[in-house]
Structure 1
Amino acid sequence: MCGPRLKHTAYNINYHFVWCPKSRHSVLDEIEQSLETSSRDVCGEYNYEMPSLHISPDHVHLFISAHPKHSPSGITRKIKRITDRAMWQQHESFLENYFWGGGFWDESYYVGTAGEVSSQTIEQYIRRTEHV
């Protein structure tokens, strides 16, 4: 089953991202609503589909589908940079109690891929087509 389609491209590229605030401060529950809104706005602006978002006090889980032209590192960079700026604009007096020198996202992140078929299914398909 394919995901979204464009004129010359059909794709099903799904990413599971996880990232945390610096020093893993448990602050996200205080800004959850505006962080969710900002995250959804960024995804809409860059045409990333976000079927799932979960904000815990000290980390965020995002499940995103994106066109192959968008690299996982680029997606992460955009979302973290834009949400960081928006949260500082909206919650500066709160965030300055935890973070000095601006920025509140840690540099590191986790990304994993997910699709509708397993690696084993793809390998079997490729082996079958080799003999046609």
Structure 2
Amino acid sequence: MGEKRSNHTVFNLNYHFVWCPKYRHAMLEPIEDSLEACFRAVCDEYEYDILSLHISPDHVHLFLSTHPKYAPSEIVRTVKSITARKMWEQHEPYLEEYLWGGGFWEQSYYIGTAGTVSSETIERYIERTEHV
């Protein structure tokens, strides 16, 4: 997790996402391996660097780093929609037991940000540079 560079940008953006399958069913364990492979493929394709991924039976934690050109809402929409479609393609008979009417993920999600410095450190830095 450190600073990354592109042509005109130096950045360190890390997002922690958490979301659940529809109805918060504890159904992810039997499909965990294919779901993890799908997360990794999507993140590779869209240039999201996975820092940590944990799949629990009833929710997912995805901690990633990416370029600032990607909005967090775009990231979560992309990852959730592609993984949902792929899981239905690969596991339809299994998913039909839990997810009547289609869908895969709940619409809601949690997002938090993380960096290498605290907000207090940033505030002190801004205050110091303001008085120069």
* TM-score band w.r.t. shorter chain: over 0.9
Equivalence for 1:33: 33
CA distance in 2, matches of 1:48, 1:3: 14
Unaligned runs of 5+ in 2: none
Equivalence for 1:21: 21
Three-state SS of the structure 2 residue aligned to 1:68 is coil
How far did residue 69 of structure 1 move?
A: 1.2
Three-state SS of the structure 2 residue aligned to 1:102 is coil
Three-state SS of the structure 2 residue aligned to 1:112 is strand
Question: Which amino acid letter does the alignment assign opposite residue 15 of structure 2?
Answer: Y
Question: Which amino acid letter does the alignment assign opposite residue 90 of structure 1?
Answer: Q
Per-residue Cα deviation, 1:49-93 (whole angstroms, up to 9, x for no partner): 101000000000000111111111110000000000000000001
Q: What are the within-5 Å matches in structure 2 for residues 1-132 of structure 1?
A: 2-132=2-132
CA distance in 2, matches of 1:13, 1:71: 11
Three-state SS of the structure 1 residue aligned to 2:63 is strand
For the aligned residue pairs, the C-alpha RMSD in angstroms reads: 1.0
CA distance in 2, matches of 1:71, 1:96: 32
TM-score by length of 2: 0.97
Unaligned runs of 5+ in 1: none
Aligned 8 A contact 1:17 1:110 in 2 = yes
Question: Which amino acid letter does the alignment assign opposite residue 66 of structure 1?
Answer: T
Number of residue pairs matched by the alignment? 132
How far did residue 101 of structure 1 move?
A: 2.2
Q: What's the % identity of the aligned pairs?
A: 65
Aligned 8 A contact 1:18 1:62 in 2 = yes
How far did residue 102 of structure 1 move?
A: 1.7
